[in-house]
Chains A and B, each alone.
Chain A
Amino acid sequence: MENLLWGLQTTLLGMGLVFSLLALMWGLLTVALRLDQPSEPAPRAGGPEPAPAAPEPQFPPGLDEQTMAAILVATLAHRAQRRREAAPAMRSYWPGSLLYASRWVGAGRAVQNHGWRRGYR
């Protein structure tokens, strides 16, 4: 009986202390969070800031947009042609390369590379 009474007292005191401590912590945390708000940029008086305008394209004098586009396409085509005709060191691919060869062509090449096989010499 004495032990039971002691147990009940311990429970009351223990739970009371745990609740009080954590309630105190709740209060302190709330105060700390209120004092330490993340800083936000102050809103502008005239509403939201407008998005920055896209830069105006600059053309050389006497050339309009269409002409500039045509020159750009011609330049790219010319560069590709020069690359095809250039020395091997400048080439991206060997002349006549079938970069996107079908799987049949690919299979044929693989067979050719195994020249040591009987019947393929």
Chain B
Amino acid sequence: MIGSDTIGLLLQGLSHVTVESVVMIGLSLVLLYLGIEKGYEPLLLLPIGAGCLLANLPLSPLIAEDGMLRVLYDMGIRNELFPLLIFIGIGALTDFGPLLENPRLVLLGAAGQFGIFMTLIAALLLGFTRPEAASIGIIGAIDGPTSIYVSGLLAPHLLGPITVAAYSYMSLVPIILPPIMKGLTTKSERLVRMPYTQRAITRRTRILFPILVTVVVGTLVPFATPLIGMLMLGNLMKESGAVERLTKASAQEIANTVTLFLGLAIGSTMVGGEFLKPRTLAILFLGIVAFGVDAMAGVLFAKVLNRLSRGKVNPLIGAAGISAFPMAARVVQKVAQEEDFENFLLMHAMGANAAGQIASVVAGGVLLALMGAGGL
């Protein structure tokens, strides 16, 4: 005869359903919907949603001691391996040519990091601890792997909401940026045409660039070495042309595999009791503040450059100083063309955008240095 204990065992899944787990499953379905139906960063939101769903099913063995999601978290998030592997792929995919053609644009990338520090202050005012505030501020880097890397070191318990905020808002760049760009610029400023003359960059310079950046940044900000080193390794492989197979593997197979593992592992951290707190809402709010302040600072700094250059710089390209590469540059081009269909700012915006990519990594390293973290 089947005893009541056996029936209890069979029904233990149902008996462990909690309100929190139901809400989290609902949230995972929202993430899946956004990724699949709306196309918002599906490569990340789909695995994160799936990880969240699997982790919140009652008594999920996947997040038990030797469960797959726990193993993925331990092997790639706890030790920061996954974001660094993704950085190799990003480096292999990024063309820094537009930045090399116009190196002064690198300053726009610096201005685009202002949101990190403003958000840090706002988070402190809302009662977060210093490491938590720094982790929330790094959403303003608008760079998923950097956010994961920094928050994984400073506040691993906030990794879930920070990652979701970073990637969700990154997919909303085409919606967030235009009102800020239009609000802070006049029509005449948006109409400024910036002539583009392609400058020949030798292969030697393209190869020297990643080495130079790694040595300079790594020497001055050792905390940034893992991030900048992997980004520039990928770029060196691409520009050298000597290891085509490795470049392709880094940009495609490895990046895709790691993205899947990363998404699942981060999704598994979004467990009901830990995630459903008012501070999660606060992080989501601060995330959008970070994005907005970044864009505003970029545009305002470009306006300063516009004045200094006597109207030769279109302030719109300042919004591309954030790291969302290359989406921010495309948004700049679109907004510029709304005013003047024959205004082509794309290459200038791409230069600022590539600078933002480097600047966000540098800012992440600087933040870790200021917090005294980073494993040194």
Name A residues whose Cβ lies closer than 8 Å to a Cβ of B.
3-4, 6-8, 10-11, 13-15, 17-19, 21-26, 28-30, 32-33, 36-38
Contact = CB atoms under 8 A, between A and B. Distances in A.
Given A32-B208, A36-B208, A14 B106 contact: no
Contacts of A10: 117, 120, 134, 370
Given A11-B117, A25-B106, A33 B100 contact: yes
A29 B103 contact: yes
A29 B98 CA distance: 13
Given A25-B217, A26-B107, 15 more contacts: A4-B125, A7-B124, A7-B133, A10-B370, A11-B120, A13-B370, A18-B366, A21-B217, A21-B220, A22-B107, A23-B110, A26-B104, A28-B212, A29-B106, A30-B103
Q: Find the residue from B103, B118, B202, B209 having the highest chain A CB count within 10 A.
A: B103
B358 A28 contact: no
B205 A32 contact: yes
B25 to A, nearest CB: 37
A39 to B, nearest CB: 8
Interface of B: 100, 103-104, 106-107, 109-110, 113-114, 116-118, 120-121, 124-125, 130, 133-134, 199-202, 204-205, 208-209, 212-213, 216-217, 220-221, 355, 358-359, 362-363, 366-367, 369-370
B107 A23 contact: yes
A75 to B, nearest CB: 51
A1 B337 CA distance: 46
A99 to B, nearest CB: 48
A8 B121 CA distance: 7
B100 A22 contact: no
A36 B121 contact: no
Nearest to B204: A36
Contacts of B117: 7, 10-11, 14-15
A7 B120 contact: yes
A32 B124 contact: no
Contact of A24 (B125, B205, B216): B216
B290 to A, nearest CB: 13
A8 to B, nearest CB: 7
B370 A14 contact: yes
Contacts of A19: 107, 110
Nearest to A33: B205
A22 B113 CA distance: 12
Contacts of A38: 200-202
A36 B207 CA distance: 12
A18 B368 CA distance: 13
A52 to B, nearest CB: 26
A36 to B, nearest CB: 5
Given A30-B103, A38-B200, A22 B124 contact: no
A43 B121 CA distance: 60
Contact of A26 (B103, B124, B366): B103
B216 A22 contact: no
A22 B359 contact: yes
B367 A22 contact: no
B227 to A, nearest CB: 13
Contacts of B199: 33
